[in-house]
Amino acid sequence: MAEQVRGRGPERRRGEVLLRAVHEAVLAEVAEVGLGQLTMEGIARRAATAKTSLYRRWSNPQDLLLDALHDAHPVEEPSPSGDDLRADLITALTLLVEWLTSPAANAVKAIMTERRRYPDLAEALYERVFDPRGGTFTHTVLRHYAEQGTIDSRLLTPIVFQIGEALVFKLLVDLDRFPTHDELAAIVDQAILPAVGVPRDAATVAEA
Amino acid sequence: MAEQVRGRGPERRRGEVLLRAVHEAVLAEVAEVGLGQLTMEGIARRAATAKTSLYRRWSNPQDLLLDALHDAHPVEEPSPSGDDLRADLITALTLLVEWLTSPAANAVKAIMTERRRYPDLAEALYERVFDPRGGTFTHTVLRHYAEQGTIDSRLLTPIVFQIGEALVFKLLVDLDRFPTHDELAAIVDQAILPAVGVPRDAATVAEA
DNA sequence: ACGATAAGCTACGCGACCGTATCTAAGTGG
DNA sequence: CCACTTAGATACGGTCGCGTAGCTTATCGT
């Protein structure tokens, strides 16, 4: 049959190349139309491939999405330098924001938001993608400085570990944009450090 | 024409009564199927009314939803007692959690989450529903105690005002349930109070 | 009691996506 | 260079929501 001209000659993607293209397409599709409108047709259109080719490998859009997430780059973990708590916390939050920028993170957010509606997806997300789970970002940094004695470890409760991440998410939702470096610094100075027993000094108060 | 028997006799709802029923139906529908799957057919089915009756008043599901939100009870504001900062903060967070429990809040969350996809809806939400905007919940309480001199008002930055709300939302997302009273107390003791210059005492640290 | 109004029912053509079947042809490896 | 694998094109019947049209009838106001 006559093939639609893509570029000029007939170039047919296979295997790995096609797979990547499809993975990219799902993530883009989720970002654009949302989890609720994710369809095989839509993905096929965006990936410029045939529906048939999708059904050959996956049985529904969710399966495909999970596969794409499984394949996405893992989250980079912070590695505390060891002598500057404030700087390391800011770095940790910066890493968080960078991850949140990725297409994969976008899809993950969508799934978490609608997890009641797609329980299987959410569950599989934990099992197949979030294996590590638990402490990342500021958690890692805070534990490091507690072990080293800079922080009183009795202050490190589950709530305290969440302060930084919680504020980044809140800012993200409220302002619908990613926090700036200064805002991350403010989170560290005004919320995290006081909670772990480092009082704010005059300088921080003045510039706030 | 033969009417479906609802109960036994033909009872036809009109005006206010019907309106309420439809409003309830939209919110329930959003909760169940999500913003992306919100359809006139679905709402009509759930409200046990005819599609025609819906189109007579609204031109699409989003319009209808906005109308329902507009009508929903407003948010109750905290009224600080004035002599117990800690208790008033916990009360404020409790009010927040209570609001989050309502069907309307559920829909608002959905809209905020997908605001990129439904910019008109989000915008109208601000204009028609969130008129007050700005300071609610812990904000109100913190300002009160600052005016009264209990708190150093230089510490009350935008970030600090967000700590409580941010942690409630984070807990909500992470655990997929509403925080308990003890968790709210922990947020106040371990995150908000340190940030506003009230250091944690031995008792709070010990029980943490 | 009797309009006027508003609600309800049915049915329609339209388009989107579904999941599958069938065929063609491009790319690959021996 | 040939055979095999796999991607691509197309078409199908089915379901669902759309938005509208037409008609019937319950309910309200007077």
- The pLDDT, as a whole number, for residue B175 is 87
Nearest-CA distance from A129 to chain B in Å?
Answer: 16
In a domain, A6, yes or no: no
pLDDT value for B207: 52
In a domain, B78, yes or no: no
Number of domains in chain A: 2
Domain shared by A98 and A190, yes or no: yes
The residue-averaged pLDDT of A29-41 equals: 92
Shared domain check, A93 and A48 = no
Smallest CA–CA distance, residue A50 to chain B, in Å, is: 25
Domain contains B4 = no
* Among candidate residues A20, A54, A21, the one with its CA nearest the CA of residue A39: A54
What is the reported pLDDT for A206? 56
Which residue range(s) make up the domain with B121? Answer: 85-207
Please report whether residue A102 resides in a domain. yes
Mutate to test the interface with A, among B100, B117, B163 (most CBs of A within 10 A): B163
Last residue of one domain, picked from the residues B25, B41, B71: B71
Q: Are B176 and B139 within one domain?
A: yes
**Residue A54 and residue A95 share a domain:** no
pLDDT of A45 reads 94
Q: Which pLDDT does position A29 carry in this prediction?
A: 94
Rounded CA Rg of chain A: 22
Binary contact (B169, A167; C-beta < 8 A): no
Q: How far apart are CA B67 and CA B63, in angstroms?
A: 6
String of DSSP letters for chain B: -PPPPSSSS-----HHHHHHHHHHHHHHHHHHH-GGG--HHHHHHHHTS-HHHHHHH-SSHHHHHHHHHHHSPPPPPP---SS-HHHHHHHHHHHHHHHHHSHHHHHHHHHHHTTTT-HHHHHHHHHHT-SS-S--THHHHHHHHHHTTSS-GGG--HHHHHHHHHHHHHHHHHHSSPPPHHHHHHHIIIIIHHHTT-PPPHHHHHH-
In angstroms, the Cα distances linking B20 to B23, B30, B118, B180 are 5, 16, 24, 32
Q: Does the residue B63 lie in any domain?
A: yes
pLDDT of residue B10: 61
We report the CATH number of the domain holding residue A33 as 1.10.10.60
Taking the CA of residue A38 and the C1' sugar atom of nucleotide D9, their distance in angstroms comes to: 23
Residue B169: per-residue pLDDT: 93
Q: Mark the nucleotides of strand C covered by protein, meaning any atom under 7 Å from a CB.
A: 6-11, 16-28
* Among candidate residues B71, B93, B117, the one where a domain is terminated: B71
Using 70 as the pLDDT threshold, list the residues of chain B that sit under it: 1-10, 129-135, 202-208
Both B37 and B115 in a single domain? Answer: no
Q: Which residues on A lie below 8 Å from B114 (Cβ)?
A: 34
pLDDT digits over A97-155, tens only? 998 998 988 899 889 888 888 888 888 888 776 654 445 789 999 999 999 999 999 99
- B66 plus B99 within the same structural domain: no
